[in-house]
Each structure stands twice: as structure tokens, then as C-alpha cells.
Amino acid sequence: MARRGRPRKGYRVLGPYLHFRRWRIELIGPDGHRTVESFLTEEAAKRAAKAARVKIPGRINVETGLERYEQFLVRKGNRRKSIDETIRRMRNWHDITMPLADVTEAQLKKRYERRCQEVAVDTHRNELSEVKTFWRWCAKEGFVKRSPAERIEPIGKRRKGKPQLRINETQTLFDKALSLAEKGDEGAVAVMTVIFLGLRSSEILCRKVRDVDNSDDKVFLWIDTGKTDAAARHMEVPEPVATFLLLQTEGKNDEDWLFPSSNSDSGHRSRTWMLRTTKRICKAAGVPMVCVHGLRGGWATLTADAGVSGHVIAKELGHTNYSTTKKHYTRKGTLERVKVRRMLHVVKGGKGSNESSRNKKSGGENV
């Protein structure tokens, strides 16, 4: 039993109380060390005491911690959509009613192992990275002594890029999507748009009627915002996709969704609509099932194979630089094959063909 007057272990905040003409609070650390702070007004002392109590480990639960973390991300300038997704994932990982200080490494590790069985490697590794970032922030803010997620090791090896279709498979998929689009299947129109423009799933879901711009006998698709600043762009839409996009706008107002079927039952945009639609049409076409990112990668590979420069491909995909495109989208060996083809073109006289013609006309010899 502790002796009388001996400070108890654990974090505590005492006060505020009046001391002569000033208001004081006492902060007691886990080792019993006392720190006294003095204020001119009682209101200022109460605010300081409240702020100190919030930081006491175990005094706030996960839900409150996530609310404060969300406020931090807003101040940091993160995109609203990214913040909402991060908070949603954190809620799925934790019992939000549990005090932060009671969350253990064993609990988080068990949850991570379960996620490894539920989702792909890239997904569960990304989630673990976000969980670690959240707990590092909690430790920095003083809500916990240390992060319980820090020593959890990621499992599995990340894949660079998503599976892509072969050239003939892409053609087969497009033919099937075209036949379905002619029957009024707007999901097929969305898939055709991805095949021809290499759009992200979110860039399809967020398009409105006003984003389809028909002028000077050309059709452009405007993307004002996206995953990155580089995502803002407008792209010329080739036929026959242009015709079907114009059909999607008929009878709708400018602010209506271009693809209304992507709304969920609750009226919100469904993040899985494009995935389900793409797999449905892949199955109907009899080709391997790929995701939207796989179609984007196929677009990048085919465009690079056609000899288009890297920075142009990156710009069309909405990437900040070509390193991301090369690492995750273009199929391995594409750039090397293009370089070899160009080299053979030069060796066989492709670069000097004009000069050769001039020499022949002037009676000279081709050196």
C-alpha cells in the first residue's frame, strides 16, 4: 500500500484552482513528476486543463481519435475523398468504442492477418501503411505512449501493375462492348471509353453530362479534377465512342450523371460499379477478367508500342511523370521493343530515305 502523500502512478491533471491572484493547473506524469502552469484567468486555465486531459492515454477512444485525425488531415490539405476513404478503412480495422491506450499489437496483427485472407496484397499492404501512419500520429500527439502497429510486418510481395489483356483479347472485348452498347448497355459504353482513353474508374464515375463537349465536329471529354493535379485534362474522343457518349447525354440536364446506373441504391456513386461492369463484359466476351487499371495499363502498353513518347502517354493518363506509367502500366519489354524497332528502321535506311531519293534524282550515289 502506498504511503500517505506519495504521488500515485499515472497521468493526471489537477485544477484549475486559485493561487493568490492567478489560476493554476498541475500536470502529473506517469512517474509522479509534477509540472505547474499558471494563468491570468480561470477560463484560460480551464481550456489548458481540458487540452491536457484529452492527451492523457486511455482517456479518449478510437472514434474520438479518428475524429481528431480527420481534422488533422483536413488542415494538412488532403483531398476530401482521400480523407473519407482513409477514415472508412480505419473504422473497419478498429473497435471504435475501445480506448486508444487499450488497443494492442496482438489485436491489430490478428486483424491484419484476416485482411490478408480477404483482399489482394496491394490492398492489405496499403491499409497496413495507413494504420501505421494513424498510430504514429496518435503517439506524436501523446494519445498513446507508442504505436501498437509499428512492429507488424507486411505480408506478400507487391505486384507492379495489373494483369492486362493481349492485343487480340482487347479487340474481342471491344467488339463485345460495342455490340452491347448498340443495345443500350451504358456499362459497355463506359468500358469502351476506358479502352480508348485509359481513364481511371473514378474519372468515369464522376463524369457529368456537361463534361461531354461537342464542338467543331469533334467530341471532347473534360476532367476537371481527379486523383492528382495532373488528372485535370480534356481529351478528344475517337469514334465510335464519341457517338455513344453523345447518346448518353440525350434527354439529360448538364448536371446529371453521364452514367446514372453507377448510382447505388442509396443514391451515392458506387465505387464497385466499374469493376463489376468490366468483369461482366469480360466474361461475356470470353476473355480473361481484368480490372479498370488493367485496361488502363493495356492502353498505355499499346500506345507506347505505337511509338508515342513517354511524356505524352503520362499526360494522357493523368500522371505527374512517366516513371509511374513505366513502373505500373506499360508492360515489361514494350519500350525496349520500340527502341529496337526504331533502330532497325534507321539501319534499313528509314532515316535517310528522303536523302536517298534526293540523291537519286540528282544522279548522286547513296552513301
CB 244 within 8 A of CB 232: no
d(C-alpha 317, C-alpha 303), whole Å: 11
User: Of 154 and 354, which is predicted with more confidence?
Assistant: 154
Three-state DSSP state, 96: coil
- Tell me the average pLDDT across 339-352: 53
Radius of gyration of the chain (CA): 30
CB 24 within 8 A of CB 15: yes
CB 171 within 8 A of CB 83: no
Q: Percentage of residues in the chain with pLDDT exceeding 70?
A: 73
- Tell me the average pLDDT across 227-231: 69
pLDDT at 306: 64
Closest CA to 258 of 295, 301, 304, 204: 204
Taking residue 184's Cβ as centre, other Cβ atoms within 10 Å add up to 9
* pLDDT, tens digit, 9 for 90 and up, residues 256-284: 999 988 775 444 456 688 889 999 999 99
Residues near 296 by Cβ (< 8 Å), separated by ≥ 6? Answer: 194, 198, 199, 200, 317, 329
User: Of 325 and 206, which is predicted with more confidence?
Assistant: 206
- Tell me the average pLDDT across 187-196: 93
Report the half-sphere exposure of 131 (CA within 13 A, side-chain side).
29
**What is the total residue count of the chain?**
367
Q: Percentage of residues in the chain with pLDDT exceeding 90?
A: 43
d(C-alpha 310, C-alpha 308), whole Å: 7
Taking residue 178's Cβ as centre, other Cβ atoms within 10 Å add up to 17
Taking residue 235's Cβ as centre, other Cβ atoms within 10 Å add up to 19
d(C-alpha 352, C-alpha 173), whole Å: 40
Residues near 161 by Cβ (< 8 Å), separated by ≥ 6? Answer: 293, 297, 327, 328, 329, 331
Taking residue 146's Cβ as centre, other Cβ atoms within 10 Å add up to 12
Which cell is 346 given? 534507321
Average pLDDT, the chain: 80
State yes or no: pLDDT of 4 exceeds 70.
no
pLDDT at 326: 55
pLDDT at 350: 59
pLDDT at 57: 62
Phi-psi region of 287 (alpha: psi -120 to 50; beta: other; left: phi over 0): beta
pLDDT at 213: 93
Residues near 215 by Cβ (< 8 Å), separated by ≥ 6? Answer: none
User: Of 232 and 72, which is predicted with more confidence?
Assistant: 72
